[in-house]
Amino acid sequence: MKTLLNGRSFAGIATALLIALAPVGARAQEFINILTGGTSGVYYPMGVALSKIYGDKIPGTRPSVQATKASVENLVLLQQGRGEIAFTLGDSLDSAWKGDEDAGFKTPLKKLRGITSIYPNYVQIVASKESGIKTLADLKGKRLSVGAPKSGTELNARAILSAAGLSYKDLGKIEYLPFAESVELMKNRQLDATLQSAGLGVASIRDLASSVEIVVVEVPKAVIDKAGAPFVSAEIPANTYGGQTAAVNTAAVVNYLVTHDGVKEELVYQMTKNIFENLGELGAAHSAGKAIKLENALEGMPVPLHPGAARYLKEKGLKVGS
């Protein structure tokens, strides 16, 4: 019996030694929760691509992808420490930093830290051809979906409609629905139009265009100028969607990847580095990813950079403020 006990004790000691000597990454993995948006938008497939990149390239990490209501929810979750990296629209990020209650932020979210700008979101207003909608003015009295309540898309909708002299009261019916649900209602003739703020070639509108004849509604430059920053004038190229034979002018807003001040500098450094060293994979995940450029990383950043991101961008020759 004594020999058996000694053997067990030796085995226990040996196991303890192996655990003690094991690399830190083998014992405690770093979680990277990636906050995205609805599964039919652009944020989600881009987040899935990031998850794969991080899992393959950053040892000792365990990435996960969380589908959310996008920008506003993502920023609130980051402030609460319930994510490590998130996608967001620039206007939502600016509102979060300032604490704009009308945009869904009761207090300023001062834990937020920037990583990089990524690609522009295009305000894409798409109507069924049978609705007769051809211009913004034609939306009056019609049924429109504007995205989830207080989402980045819905904030864009308020701003653009207001600049065009319209309010929600002018419309026949407003639905606050995610992209895919909006498209299903349009297919069933329960909606006339949907406003979706996303990268070009968003899956939901591609799906709609394959089932229904569509009209992509122009947002004129004069309306964009009246809406002001952060909106800029941009073009949806011809044939971005089925049946869209001409280029259409619209408003665009830059998207960002952000984190919070509680995430370790080295982890954010690695997350930033692996975004720019794997742009091909992000572009393959969605065409919007092809617009991500290192030289644009600091474009219009409305919050302070995280030290980890700043370190990487400085190494690559970008001028990062103190």
Contacts of 233 (CB under 8 A, 6+ apart): 221, 224, 225, 249, 250, 251, 252
Q: Report the pLDDT value the prediction gives residue 88, as an integer from 0 to 100.
A: 95
Residue 12 inside a domain? The answer is no
Do 159 and 50 fall into the same domain? Answer: no
Do 174 and 292 fall into the same domain? Answer: no
Residue 320 inside a domain? The answer is no
- Give the chain as a 3 state SS string: CHHHHHHHHHHHHHHHHHHHHCCHHHHCCEEEEEECCCCCCCHHHHHHHHHHHHHHHCCCEEEEEECCCCHHHHHHHHHCCCCCEEEEEHHHHHHHHHCCHHHCCCCCCCCEEEEEEEEEEEEEEEEEHHHCCCCCHHHCCCEEECCCCCCHHHHHHHHHHHHCCCCHHHCCEEECCCHHHHHHHHHCCCCCEEEEEECCCCHHHHHHHCCCCEEEECCCHHHHHHHCCCCEEEEECCCCCCCCCCCEEEEEEEEEEEEECCCCHHHHHHHHHHHHCCHHHHHHHCHHHHHCCHHHCCCCCCCCECHHHHHHHHHCCCCCCC
Residue 88 inside a domain? The answer is yes
Domain of residue 166 covers: 121-253
Residue 160 inside a domain? The answer is yes
Q: Report the pLDDT value the prediction gives residue 135, as an integer from 0 to 100.
A: 98
List phi, psi (to 5°) of 315: -60, -30
From 237, 253, 269, give the residue that closes a domain.
Answer: 253
Do 75 and 128 fall into the same domain? Answer: no
From 238, 253, 268, give the residue that closes a domain.
Answer: 253
Contact between residue 117 and residue 256 where contact means Cβ atoms under 8 Å apart: yes
Q: Report the pLDDT value the prediction gives residue 229, as an integer from 0 to 100.
A: 79
Do 112 and 260 fall into the same domain? Answer: yes
Do 281 and 233 fall into the same domain? Answer: no
Q: Report the pLDDT value the prediction gives residue 28, as an integer from 0 to 100.
A: 67
Do 298 and 206 fall into the same domain? Answer: no
Structure tokens at 205: 């509108």
Q: Report the pLDDT value the prediction gives residue 17, as an integer from 0 to 100.
A: 42
Residue 215 inside a domain? The answer is yes
Total number of domains in the chain:
2
Do 91 and 211 fall into the same domain? Answer: no
From 253, 283, 306, give the residue that closes a domain.
Answer: 253
Do 156 and 247 fall into the same domain? Answer: yes
Q: Report the pLDDT value the prediction gives residue 23, as an integer from 0 to 100.
A: 47
Residue 17 inside a domain? The answer is no
Q: Report the pLDDT value the prediction gives residue 8, as an integer from 0 to 100.
A: 44
CATH of the domain at 246: 3.40.190.10
Q: Report the pLDDT value the prediction gives residue 41, as an integer from 0 to 100.
A: 87
Tens-level pLDDT at each residue, the chain (322 residues): 444 445 444 444 444 444 444 444 344 689 999 999 989 889 999 999 999 999 999 999 999 999 999 999 999 999 999 999 999 999 899 999 999 998 889 999 999 999 999 999 899 999 999 999 999 999 999 999 999 887 889 999 999 999 999 999 999 999 999 999 999 999 999 999 999 999 899 999 999 999 999 999 999 999 999 998 788 899 999 999 999 999 999 999 999 999 999 999 999 999 999 999 999 999 999 989 999 999 999 988 999 999 999 999 999 999 997 5
Separation of alpha carbons 291 and 189, rounded Å: 34
Residue 57 inside a domain? The answer is yes
